[in-house]
Amino acid sequence: MTDFVAYLGAAWLGIAASLFSVSCVCGLLQPYLRHRSAINRDRPPISAILPIKLSNPGFERAQSSLFEQDYPDYEVLVGAAEDASPALDEMRHIASAHPKVPCRFRHSAESIAVSPKLNTIAAPLNAARHDFIFTKDSNITLDARGLSAFMRNFTSGVGLVVAVPVAVRPTNFPGHIEAYLINGHARLLLTASVLGVGFGVGKTMLFRRSDLARAGGIRALSHTLSEDTALAMEFARLGLKTVFCHRAIAQETGARSFAEIYARQLRWSVIRRKNERFTFPLEPLASPLPAAIAAALAAPLIIAPAWAAFAVALAGWFFAETLFAAVKGWEVSPWSPLAFLGREILALSSWLHAFTTYEVVWAERRFDARKGALDETRI
C-alpha cells in the first residue's frame, strides 16, 4: 500500500509538473503566435459599452483609457442600473474631460437576465449606433491601441474576441494575493489560446450585434451568471470562433479585503463547476500545493524526507512561476512568497467550497448561480 501511494504521488507530480511547464512555454509564445493570426486591417466604427456599478480601484485610469484610444471612429455608452451614484458622478466627470469622444449615458435597470452585468448592458446595446460592440469592465485599463488590437483579431470566421486579464497595481496584502490568483489563471488562458481553445472571458469582449441577434439576442444568454461563456457557446453554434487577443489587458487591483477576494474566487469556482463539469474536478492538477503534497508522498521512492520533498517542490514551483512573471513583466514584489502561499490556500478552499453551494456574492448582492438574485438586499 505504501508503494502504491508513493507511485501515485509520483504520477501526480509528473503530470502537474508537465502541465506547468507546457503552460509556461505557451504563455511566452502566445503573443507572437496570435499576432501572426491578427491580420484584419479594417477599422469599422465601434460602440464601446461600459457597465458601471461601483468605483473600483483605478476607476479613473481605467475609464479614461477608453476615451484615449487611437481609433478612428468609436462612441462610448455608459450603462448603470442606478439613476445616481458616486461611480456615475465620476464617470460623468471623466466623459466631460474627453469631449472629442461621443458619450451617452443610459439607465439600464432591466431584469431579463440572471447576470446583473447583462441587465446593465441591455439598454446601451439597444442604443448603440454601430454593429461592432466592445464591452469593458470598469476595472480594466486599455493601452492606446487596445481597440485596434481587438479589431485586428476579428478575422474571417471569428464571432468573439476576448483578452487575457493581468493584474496590476495591488496596494495591500490581499491585493497581492488576488494578483497571484488572476495572473496564475492568465497563464492557463494563454495556454488555451495557443492550443486553439477559445473561452468567453467577459472582462473585455468584441462582437457584432448582428451576430448576437442571430444567436437569439440577450435572451439567449439570460439563463446564466456567466454570460461570457454563454455568448461564446451561442456563437459556436453559429460556426463562429472565440479567440484571444494577442495583447493582454490590465486589471486594476488596488486594495482588497480577504472577504472580497474570497467571495470573488468562490463565485468564479461555482460558475466553473456549473459550466465545466468535467474539467473543474481536475483543477488541482494545475496547482502547486497538491503537487508539493504529491512530492511528499513520493519521497520514499528517492529515499528522501517527506518534508524536504514537499519544500523543494513548492519552492521550485514558486521560483519558476516568479521567473515566468518577471519575463512577462507581470507583478513581482517582496510580497510574492506570502501571496503565492495565500493564493494556494484561498484557491483550494474556494474550490472545495464550490462543491457545497451555488450561492455567490456579486456587486454586493447574493445570487444562486442557477436562478439569479436571491433577494434585493445588499450585503
- Please spell the DSSP secondary structure of 300-327, one letter per residue: GGGT--HHHHHHHHHHHHHHHHHHHHHH
Residues recorded for the chain? 379
Measured CA to CA, the distance from residue 90 to residue 84 in angstroms comes to: 11
Is residue 69 a contact partner of residue 140, using CB atoms and an 8 Å limit?
A: no
Are residues 117 and 16 located together in one domain of the fold?
no
Question: 162-187 burial, b for 16+ CB within 10 Å, e for fewer?
Answer: bbbbbbbbbeeebbbbbbbbbbbbbb
| Among 260, 285, 317, residue at a domain's last position | 260
Cell 469592465 maps to which residue?
A: 137
User: Do the bridges between strand 204-208 and strand 359-362 make them parallel or antiparallel, or are there none, so unpaired?
Assistant: unpaired
> Residue 233 has what pLDDT?
93
Please indicate, yes or no, if residue 379 is contained in any of the structural domains: no
Q: Where are the alpha helices (DSSP H) in the chain?
A: 2-37, 59-67, 86-96, 116-127, 146-152, 173-194, 209-214, 227-237, 258-275, 288-298, 306-328, 336-353
Report yes or no on whether pTM surpasses 0.85.
Answer: yes
Nearest residue to 159 via CA among 222, 214, 102: 214
Are residues 237 and 281 located together in one domain of the fold?
no
Q: What is the CATH number of the domain that holds 207?
A: 3.90.550.10
> Residue 336 has what pLDDT?
95
| Among 260, 275, 310, residue at a domain's last position | 260
Nearest residue to 271 via CA among 147, 204, 370: 370
Are residues 50 and 17 located together in one domain of the fold?
no
| Among 227, 260, 293, residue at a domain's last position | 260
> Residue 370 has what pLDDT?
66
Domain that holds residue 17: 2-26+264-373
Which SS3 state, helix, strand or coil, does residue 284 take?
helix
| Residues sharing a CB contact under 8 Å with residue 176, sequence separation 6 or more, in sequence order | 170, 331, 333, 335, 336, 338, 339, 342
Which SS3 state, helix, strand or coil, does residue 368 take?
strand
Measured CA to CA, the distance from residue 52 to residue 137 in angstroms comes to: 8
How distant is the alpha carbon of residue 80 from its chain centre? Answer: 21
> Residue 272 has what pLDDT?
86
Are residues 204 and 95 located together in one domain of the fold?
yes
Please indicate, yes or no, if residue 109 is contained in any of the structural domains: yes
Q: How many CB atoms lie within 10 A of CB 244?
A: 23
User: Residue 205 has what DSSP assignment?
Assistant: E
Are residues 189 and 206 located together in one domain of the fold?
yes
Are residues 255 and 268 located together in one domain of the fold?
no
Are residues 224 and 321 located together in one domain of the fold?
no
Which SS3 state, helix, strand or coil, does residue 180 take?
helix
Are residues 183 and 275 located together in one domain of the fold?
no
Distances in Å between the Cα of 165 and the Cα atoms of 41, 136, 156 are 24, 11, 24
Are residues 65 and 196 located together in one domain of the fold?
yes
Please indicate, yes or no, if residue 154 is contained in any of the structural domains: yes
The count of domains in the chain is: 2
Grid cell digits, residue 91: 464617470
Measured CA to CA, the distance from residue 43 to residue 45 in angstroms comes to: 7
**Residue ranges of the chain whose pLDDT lies below 70:** 1, 363-364, 370-379
